[in-house]
Structure 1
Amino acid sequence: MQPIILALAKGRTVTGILRLLRKTGYDFDGFHEKSRKLVFLDSTNQIQLIFVKAVDVPTYVEKGAADIGIVGRDNILESQADVYEMLDLKEGKCKFVVAGKNKSVLQKNRLTVASKYPFIANSFFQQNGIQAETIKLNGSVELAPIIGMADVIVDIMETGKTLQENGLIVLEELEDITTRLNYK
Protein backbone atom coordinates (compact mmCIF):
# COMPACT_ATOMS: atom_id res chain seq x y z
CA MET A 1 0.00 0.00 0.00
CA GLN A 2 1.29 3.45 -0.95
CA PRO A 3 1.55 5.99 1.87
CA ILE A 4 -0.72 9.02 1.89
CA ILE A 5 1.28 12.06 0.81
CA LEU A 6 0.78 15.01 3.15
CA ALA A 7 2.05 18.46 2.11
CA LEU A 8 2.98 20.66 5.05
CA ALA A 9 4.80 23.96 5.40
CA LYS A 10 7.62 24.41 7.89
CA GLY A 11 6.92 27.27 10.23
CA ARG A 12 5.14 28.21 13.42
CA THR A 13 2.42 25.55 13.15
CA VAL A 14 4.64 22.49 12.49
CA THR A 15 5.14 21.59 16.15
CA GLY A 16 1.41 21.62 16.86
CA ILE A 17 0.57 19.66 13.71
CA LEU A 18 3.22 17.00 14.42
CA ARG A 19 1.95 16.76 18.03
CA LEU A 20 -1.58 16.23 16.69
CA LEU A 21 -0.36 13.54 14.25
CA ARG A 22 1.60 11.84 17.06
CA LYS A 23 -1.58 11.69 19.20
CA THR A 24 -3.30 9.83 16.35
CA GLY A 25 -0.45 7.30 16.03
CA TYR A 26 1.69 8.88 13.31
CA ASP A 27 5.18 9.73 14.53
CA PHE A 28 7.90 11.25 12.36
CA ASP A 29 10.99 10.24 14.37
CA GLY A 30 13.47 11.57 11.81
CA PHE A 31 12.08 15.10 11.82
CA HIS A 32 13.77 17.93 13.66
CA GLU A 33 13.19 21.63 13.07
CA LYS A 34 16.71 22.40 11.85
CA SER A 35 16.68 19.62 9.25
CA ARG A 36 16.87 20.63 5.58
CA LYS A 37 15.34 17.30 4.55
CA LEU A 38 12.05 17.68 2.65
CA VAL A 39 10.52 14.16 2.80
CA PHE A 40 9.77 12.07 5.91
CA LEU A 41 7.94 8.76 6.35
CA ASP A 42 6.07 8.11 9.58
CA SER A 43 6.95 5.12 11.77
CA THR A 44 3.97 3.09 10.40
CA ASN A 45 4.90 3.80 6.74
CA GLN A 46 1.37 5.10 6.17
CA ILE A 47 2.06 8.83 5.74
CA GLN A 48 4.78 10.47 3.69
CA LEU A 49 5.27 14.04 4.82
CA ILE A 50 6.61 16.52 2.25
CA PHE A 51 7.68 20.01 3.26
CA VAL A 52 6.88 22.76 0.78
CA LYS A 53 6.46 26.53 0.94
CA ALA A 54 3.15 27.46 2.58
CA VAL A 55 1.92 29.27 -0.53
CA ASP A 56 2.52 26.09 -2.55
CA VAL A 57 0.63 23.60 -0.34
CA PRO A 58 -2.76 24.14 -2.08
CA THR A 59 -1.10 23.80 -5.50
CA TYR A 60 0.55 20.48 -4.58
CA VAL A 61 -2.87 19.21 -3.48
CA GLU A 62 -4.75 20.63 -6.46
CA LYS A 63 -2.28 19.11 -8.95
CA GLY A 64 -2.31 15.70 -7.23
CA ALA A 65 1.32 15.76 -6.07
CA ALA A 66 -0.01 15.49 -2.50
CA ASP A 67 -3.14 13.69 -1.35
CA ILE A 68 -3.85 16.17 1.43
CA GLY A 69 -2.33 19.39 2.70
CA ILE A 70 -2.18 21.30 5.93
CA VAL A 71 -1.81 25.06 5.62
CA GLY A 72 -3.30 28.32 6.83
CA ARG A 73 -6.56 29.45 5.26
CA ASP A 74 -4.74 32.61 4.13
CA ASN A 75 -2.68 30.55 1.69
CA ILE A 76 -5.71 28.61 0.45
CA LEU A 77 -7.62 31.83 -0.25
CA GLU A 78 -4.70 33.59 -1.92
CA SER A 79 -3.79 30.63 -4.14
CA GLN A 80 -7.36 30.31 -5.48
CA ALA A 81 -6.59 26.58 -5.82
CA ASP A 82 -9.46 24.19 -6.42
CA VAL A 83 -9.25 22.35 -3.08
CA TYR A 84 -11.71 21.57 -0.30
CA GLU A 85 -11.21 22.62 3.29
CA MET A 86 -11.99 19.39 5.08
CA LEU A 87 -11.15 20.28 8.67
CA ASP A 88 -10.22 23.33 10.74
CA LEU A 89 -7.27 22.20 12.88
CA LYS A 90 -7.54 25.33 15.05
CA GLU A 91 -3.76 25.85 14.98
CA GLY A 92 -2.02 29.13 14.13
CA LYS A 93 -4.97 31.37 14.97
CA CYS A 94 -4.69 34.85 13.49
CA LYS A 95 -6.75 37.43 11.54
CA PHE A 96 -6.62 39.10 8.18
CA VAL A 97 -6.54 42.85 8.79
CA VAL A 98 -6.23 46.17 7.05
CA ALA A 99 -3.77 48.31 9.02
CA GLY A 100 -2.33 51.78 8.65
CA LYS A 101 -1.17 54.82 10.55
CA ASN A 102 -4.65 56.28 11.14
CA LYS A 103 -8.31 55.63 10.37
CA SER A 104 -8.69 58.75 8.18
CA VAL A 105 -6.58 57.14 5.45
CA LEU A 106 -9.64 55.05 4.50
CA GLN A 107 -11.41 58.26 3.39
CA LYS A 108 -9.06 58.70 0.41
CA ASN A 109 -10.49 58.26 -3.12
CA ARG A 110 -7.77 55.82 -4.05
CA LEU A 111 -5.56 53.76 -1.76
CA THR A 112 -2.17 52.20 -2.27
CA VAL A 113 -2.08 48.85 -0.49
CA ALA A 114 0.98 46.72 0.32
CA SER A 115 0.37 43.03 0.84
CA LYS A 116 1.74 39.54 0.54
CA TYR A 117 -1.86 38.69 -0.41
CA PRO A 118 -2.75 40.79 -3.49
CA PHE A 119 -5.75 38.66 -4.51
CA ILE A 120 -7.33 38.94 -1.05
CA ALA A 121 -6.50 42.65 -0.77
CA ASN A 122 -7.93 43.46 -4.21
CA SER A 123 -11.06 41.40 -3.51
CA PHE A 124 -11.72 43.18 -0.20
CA PHE A 125 -11.34 46.70 -1.59
CA GLN A 126 -13.31 45.89 -4.74
CA GLN A 127 -16.19 44.41 -2.70
CA ASN A 128 -16.23 47.59 -0.63
CA GLY A 129 -16.19 49.94 -3.65
CA ILE A 130 -12.74 51.34 -2.83
CA GLN A 131 -10.27 51.95 -5.64
CA ALA A 132 -6.93 50.47 -4.69
CA GLU A 133 -3.58 49.78 -6.26
CA THR A 134 -1.91 46.78 -4.65
CA ILE A 135 1.85 46.42 -4.31
CA LYS A 136 2.94 42.82 -3.70
CA LEU A 137 5.57 42.50 -1.01
CA ASN A 138 6.88 39.26 0.45
CA GLY A 139 7.94 40.47 3.86
CA SER A 140 8.00 43.43 6.26
CA VAL A 141 4.83 44.88 4.73
CA GLU A 142 4.49 47.05 7.86
CA LEU A 143 7.33 49.18 6.50
CA ALA A 144 5.32 50.35 3.47
CA PRO A 145 3.00 52.83 5.29
CA ILE A 146 5.83 53.98 7.55
CA ILE A 147 7.96 55.16 4.61
CA GLY A 148 5.03 56.38 2.49
CA MET A 149 5.16 53.58 -0.08
CA ALA A 150 1.56 52.57 0.72
CA ASP A 151 -1.41 53.96 2.61
CA VAL A 152 -2.35 50.67 4.24
CA ILE A 153 -1.41 47.02 4.40
CA VAL A 154 -3.45 43.83 4.24
CA ASP A 155 -1.77 41.11 6.26
CA ILE A 156 -2.33 38.43 8.85
CA MET A 157 -2.01 39.43 12.50
CA GLU A 158 -1.53 37.11 15.43
CA THR A 159 -1.02 39.39 18.43
CA GLY A 160 -0.76 42.87 16.92
CA LYS A 161 2.65 43.46 18.52
CA THR A 162 4.45 44.06 15.20
CA LEU A 163 1.82 46.60 14.16
CA GLN A 164 2.00 48.35 17.52
CA GLU A 165 5.80 48.50 17.57
CA ASN A 166 5.72 50.10 14.12
CA GLY A 167 3.05 52.71 14.90
CA LEU A 168 0.26 51.04 12.93
CA ILE A 169 -3.30 50.29 14.00
CA VAL A 170 -5.94 47.84 12.81
CA LEU A 171 -8.42 49.69 10.60
CA GLU A 172 -10.56 46.70 9.56
CA GLU A 173 -10.70 43.02 10.51
CA LEU A 174 -11.41 40.90 7.43
CA GLU A 175 -11.48 37.27 8.53
CA ASP A 176 -10.26 34.82 11.14
CA ILE A 177 -7.54 32.48 9.87
CA THR A 178 -6.50 29.05 11.14
CA THR A 179 -4.68 26.04 9.77
CA ARG A 180 -6.84 23.78 7.60
CA LEU A 181 -6.65 20.23 6.32
CA ASN A 182 -7.40 20.37 2.59
CA TYR A 183 -7.78 17.87 -0.24
CA LYS A 184 -8.81 17.72 -3.88
Structure 2
Amino acid sequence: MEDLITIAMPKGRIFEEAAELLRQAGYQLPPEFEDSRKLIIDVEKEGFRFILAKPMDVPTYVEHGVADLGIAGKDVMLEEERDVYELLDLNISECYLAVAGLPNTKMNDVAPKVATKYPNVAARYFREQGEQVEIIKLNGSIELAPLIGLADRIVDIVSTGRTLIENGLVEYERMMTITSRLIVNPVSYRMKDEQVNELVERIAEVIERKG
Protein backbone atom coordinates (compact mmCIF):
# COMPACT_ATOMS: atom_id res chain seq x y z
CA MET A 1 0.00 0.00 0.00
CA GLU A 2 1.45 3.32 -1.13
CA ASP A 3 -0.49 5.42 1.38
CA LEU A 4 1.05 3.79 4.46
CA ILE A 5 2.84 6.14 6.85
CA THR A 6 6.34 4.71 7.24
CA ILE A 7 7.89 5.04 10.72
CA ALA A 8 11.54 4.22 11.44
CA MET A 9 12.31 3.24 15.01
CA PRO A 10 15.02 1.35 16.90
CA LYS A 11 14.56 -2.03 18.53
CA GLY A 12 14.80 -2.38 22.29
CA ARG A 13 13.58 -0.07 25.02
CA ILE A 14 12.57 2.81 22.72
CA PHE A 15 10.65 0.45 20.44
CA GLU A 16 8.73 -1.12 23.34
CA GLU A 17 7.88 2.20 24.98
CA ALA A 18 6.90 3.79 21.65
CA ALA A 19 4.63 0.82 20.82
CA GLU A 20 2.92 1.22 24.20
CA LEU A 21 2.49 4.94 23.53
CA LEU A 22 0.83 4.19 20.18
CA ARG A 23 -1.51 1.69 21.84
CA GLN A 24 -2.46 4.26 24.48
CA ALA A 25 -3.19 6.67 21.62
CA GLY A 26 -5.77 4.17 20.34
CA TYR A 27 -3.78 2.47 17.59
CA GLN A 28 -4.26 -1.29 17.38
CA LEU A 29 -0.89 -2.98 17.07
CA PRO A 30 -0.75 -6.81 16.95
CA PRO A 31 0.10 -8.51 20.29
CA GLU A 32 3.26 -10.10 18.82
CA PHE A 33 4.43 -6.74 17.45
CA GLU A 34 7.40 -6.28 19.82
CA ASP A 35 8.52 -9.91 19.44
CA SER A 36 8.77 -9.90 15.65
CA ARG A 37 12.20 -10.47 14.09
CA LYS A 38 11.16 -8.76 10.86
CA LEU A 39 12.88 -5.53 9.87
CA ILE A 40 9.78 -4.21 8.09
CA ILE A 41 6.36 -4.67 9.71
CA ASP A 42 3.13 -3.54 8.06
CA VAL A 43 0.09 -2.74 10.17
CA GLU A 44 -2.27 -2.02 7.30
CA LYS A 45 -5.32 -1.70 9.54
CA GLU A 46 -3.81 1.45 11.04
CA GLY A 47 -2.04 2.58 7.86
CA PHE A 48 1.49 2.11 9.25
CA ARG A 49 4.67 0.53 8.01
CA PHE A 50 7.46 0.22 10.58
CA ILE A 51 11.14 0.03 9.68
CA LEU A 52 13.31 -1.32 12.51
CA ALA A 53 16.75 0.27 12.39
CA LYS A 54 19.87 0.99 14.38
CA PRO A 55 19.28 4.08 16.57
CA MET A 56 21.90 6.17 14.73
CA ASP A 57 20.33 5.30 11.36
CA VAL A 58 16.78 6.45 12.11
CA PRO A 59 17.35 10.17 11.29
CA THR A 60 19.16 9.13 8.09
CA TYR A 61 16.16 7.11 6.89
CA VAL A 62 13.85 10.02 7.67
CA GLU A 63 16.08 12.64 6.04
CA HIS A 64 16.28 10.62 2.81
CA GLY A 65 12.54 10.02 2.74
CA VAL A 66 12.48 6.23 2.96
CA ALA A 67 10.64 6.82 6.25
CA ASP A 68 8.09 9.57 6.74
CA LEU A 69 8.50 9.63 10.49
CA GLY A 70 11.05 8.40 12.98
CA ILE A 71 11.50 7.95 16.69
CA ALA A 72 15.00 8.87 17.81
CA GLY A 73 16.77 9.84 21.02
CA LYS A 74 17.75 13.47 21.40
CA ASP A 75 21.36 12.28 21.68
CA VAL A 76 21.17 10.86 18.15
CA MET A 77 19.50 14.04 16.87
CA LEU A 78 22.25 16.23 18.30
CA GLU A 79 25.00 13.96 16.96
CA GLU A 80 23.61 13.40 13.47
CA GLU A 81 22.25 16.92 12.76
CA ARG A 82 20.01 15.65 9.95
CA ASP A 83 17.61 17.75 7.87
CA VAL A 84 14.41 16.69 9.63
CA TYR A 85 11.75 18.39 11.71
CA GLU A 86 11.33 17.52 15.38
CA LEU A 87 7.59 17.35 16.09
CA LEU A 88 7.20 16.08 19.63
CA ASP A 89 9.09 15.17 22.78
CA LEU A 90 7.65 11.73 23.55
CA ASN A 91 9.00 11.74 27.13
CA ILE A 92 10.02 8.08 26.86
CA SER A 93 13.32 6.26 27.39
CA GLU A 94 14.68 9.02 29.61
CA CYS A 95 18.39 8.93 30.35
CA TYR A 96 21.22 11.45 30.23
CA LEU A 97 24.63 12.13 28.71
CA ALA A 98 27.48 12.30 31.17
CA VAL A 99 31.24 12.72 31.41
CA ALA A 100 32.79 9.85 33.35
CA GLY A 101 36.17 8.36 34.16
CA LEU A 102 38.26 6.62 36.80
CA PRO A 103 37.79 8.00 40.34
CA ASN A 104 40.13 10.69 41.68
CA THR A 105 41.89 11.32 38.37
CA LYS A 106 42.53 14.65 36.66
CA MET A 107 42.37 15.30 32.96
CA ASN A 108 45.77 15.22 31.26
CA ASP A 109 47.00 18.83 30.98
CA VAL A 110 49.02 18.22 27.82
CA ALA A 111 46.74 16.21 25.52
CA PRO A 112 43.46 15.28 27.26
CA LYS A 113 41.57 12.55 25.41
CA VAL A 114 37.86 11.82 25.50
CA ALA A 115 36.38 8.61 24.09
CA THR A 116 32.78 8.52 22.92
CA LYS A 117 30.37 7.38 20.24
CA TYR A 118 29.10 10.98 20.18
CA PRO A 119 32.12 12.88 18.77
CA ASN A 120 30.15 15.94 17.60
CA VAL A 121 28.22 16.31 20.85
CA ALA A 122 31.36 15.81 22.95
CA ALA A 123 33.44 18.24 20.89
CA ARG A 124 30.78 20.96 21.21
CA TYR A 125 30.40 20.39 24.93
CA PHE A 126 34.09 20.68 25.78
CA ARG A 127 34.50 23.64 23.41
CA GLU A 128 31.70 25.41 25.29
CA GLN A 129 33.54 24.64 28.55
CA GLY A 130 36.65 26.27 27.11
CA GLU A 131 38.56 22.99 27.12
CA GLN A 132 40.62 21.65 24.22
CA VAL A 133 40.46 17.87 24.04
CA GLU A 134 41.18 15.15 21.53
CA ILE A 135 38.05 13.19 20.70
CA ILE A 136 38.40 9.45 20.09
CA LYS A 137 35.38 7.88 18.40
CA LEU A 138 34.40 4.40 19.57
CA ASN A 139 31.38 2.36 18.52
CA GLY A 140 30.87 0.35 21.69
CA SER A 141 32.23 -0.62 25.13
CA ILE A 142 33.12 3.02 25.79
CA GLU A 143 33.84 2.17 29.45
CA LEU A 144 36.98 0.32 28.36
CA ALA A 145 38.76 3.50 27.26
CA PRO A 146 39.83 4.81 30.71
CA LEU A 147 40.54 1.29 31.98
CA ILE A 148 43.13 0.59 29.27
CA GLY A 149 44.60 4.09 29.17
CA LEU A 150 43.08 5.09 25.83
CA ALA A 151 41.32 8.16 27.23
CA ASP A 152 41.10 10.34 30.36
CA ARG A 153 37.32 10.60 30.17
CA ILE A 154 34.36 9.18 28.33
CA VAL A 155 31.11 10.76 27.20
CA ASP A 156 28.28 8.26 27.17
CA ILE A 157 24.59 7.67 27.81
CA VAL A 158 23.73 6.83 31.42
CA SER A 159 20.46 5.21 32.39
CA THR A 160 20.88 3.66 35.84
CA GLY A 161 24.63 4.19 36.29
CA ARG A 162 25.12 0.49 36.93
CA THR A 163 27.52 -0.04 34.01
CA LEU A 164 29.79 2.74 35.26
CA ILE A 165 29.83 1.31 38.79
CA GLU A 166 30.51 -2.24 37.61
CA ASN A 167 33.52 -1.00 35.65
CA GLY A 168 34.90 1.11 38.50
CA LEU A 169 34.08 4.46 36.88
CA VAL A 170 32.50 7.57 38.36
CA GLU A 171 30.35 10.30 36.86
CA TYR A 172 32.09 13.69 36.76
CA GLU A 173 29.55 15.87 34.96
CA ARG A 174 25.96 15.44 33.87
CA MET A 175 25.67 17.08 30.45
CA MET A 176 22.00 16.90 29.45
CA THR A 177 18.80 14.91 29.84
CA ILE A 178 17.85 12.75 26.86
CA THR A 179 14.37 11.62 25.78
CA SER A 180 13.02 10.19 22.53
CA ARG A 181 11.55 12.51 19.90
CA LEU A 182 9.12 12.12 17.01
CA ILE A 183 10.75 13.44 13.82
CA VAL A 184 9.43 13.89 10.28
CA ASN A 185 10.77 14.23 6.76
CA PRO A 186 10.06 17.81 5.56
CA VAL A 187 8.49 16.63 2.27
CA SER A 188 6.32 14.04 4.05
CA TYR A 189 5.18 16.76 6.44
CA ARG A 190 3.79 18.69 3.48
CA MET A 191 2.47 15.76 1.44
CA LYS A 192 0.97 13.72 4.30
CA ASP A 193 0.16 16.52 6.69
CA GLU A 194 -3.31 15.24 7.58
CA GLN A 195 -2.10 11.77 8.61
CA VAL A 196 0.96 13.12 10.38
CA ASN A 197 -0.96 15.77 12.32
CA GLU A 198 -3.57 13.26 13.45
CA LEU A 199 -0.83 10.99 14.79
CA VAL A 200 0.86 13.90 16.57
CA GLU A 201 -2.41 15.07 18.15
CA ARG A 202 -3.33 11.62 19.42
CA ILE A 203 0.12 11.01 20.92
CA ALA A 204 0.26 14.52 22.39
CA GLU A 205 -3.03 13.86 24.20
CA VAL A 206 -1.57 10.72 25.79
CA ILE A 207 1.56 12.60 26.89
CA GLU A 208 -0.56 15.39 28.37
CA ARG A 209 -2.74 12.91 30.28
CA LYS A 210 0.36 11.28 31.73
CA GLY A 211 1.57 14.71 32.85
TM-score of the alignment, normalized to the shorter chain, above 0.5:
yes
More helix by share: 2
Amino acid at match of 1:47: F
1:21 equivalenced with 2:22 (yes/no): yes
Corresponding residue SS for 1:148: coil
* 1:27, distance to aligned residue in structure 2 (A): 2.9
Aligned partners of 2:6 and 2:48 also within 8 Å:
yes
Unaligned runs of 5+ in 1: none
**CA–CA separation in structure 2 for the residues paired with 1:63 and 1:45:** 24
Instruction: Name the structure 2 match of 1:78.
Output: 79
TM-score, scaled relative to structure 2: 0.81
Aligned partners of 2:28 and 2:46 also within 8 Å:
no
Corresponding residue SS for 2:130: coil
Aligned partners of 1:18 and 1:27 also within 8 Å:
no
Sequence identity, in percent? 46
Aligned partners of 2:79 and 2:118 also within 8 Å:
yes
Query: Aligned to 2:33, which of 31, 49, 62?
Result: 31
**CA–CA separation in structure 2 for the residues paired with 1:166 and 1:104:** 15
**CA–CA separation in structure 2 for the residues paired with 1:110 and 1:2:** 54
Aligned partners of 1:72 and 1:180 also within 8 Å:
yes
CA deviation profile, 1:65-99 (whole Å, cap 9, x unmatched):
11110011111111111222211111111011010
**Equivalences, count:** 183
**CA–CA separation in structure 1 for the residues paired with 2:79 and 2:104:** 26
Change (3 A) 1:103 1:96: farther
* 1:155, distance to aligned residue in structure 2 (A): 0.5
Runs of 4+ in structure 1 deviating by more than 4 angstroms, as ranges, are: none
TM-score, scaled relative to structure 1: 0.92
Aligned partners of 2:9 and 2:53 also within 8 Å:
yes
* 1:107, distance to aligned residue in structure 2 (A): 6.6
Aligned partners of 2:4 and 2:44 also within 8 Å:
no
Instruction: Name the structure 2 match of 1:69.
Output: 70
Instruction: Name the structure 1 match of 2:9.
Output: 8
More strand by share: 1
**CA–CA separation in structure 2 for the residues paired with 1:93 and 1:72:** 9
Change (3 A) 1:103 1:89: farther
Larger Rg: 2
**CA–CA separation in structure 1 for the residues paired with 2:106 and 2:132:** 13
Unaligned runs of 5+ in 2: 186-211
**CA–CA separation in structure 2 for the residues paired with 1:32 and 1:180:** 19
Corresponding residue SS for 1:60: helix
Instruction: Name the structure 2 match of 1:59.
Output: 60
**CA–CA separation in structure 2 for the residues paired with 1:97 and 1:177:** 11
CA root-mean-square deviation: 1.7
* 1:103, distance to aligned residue in structure 2 (A): 5.5
Structure 1 range deviating more: 43-52 or 74-83 = 43-52
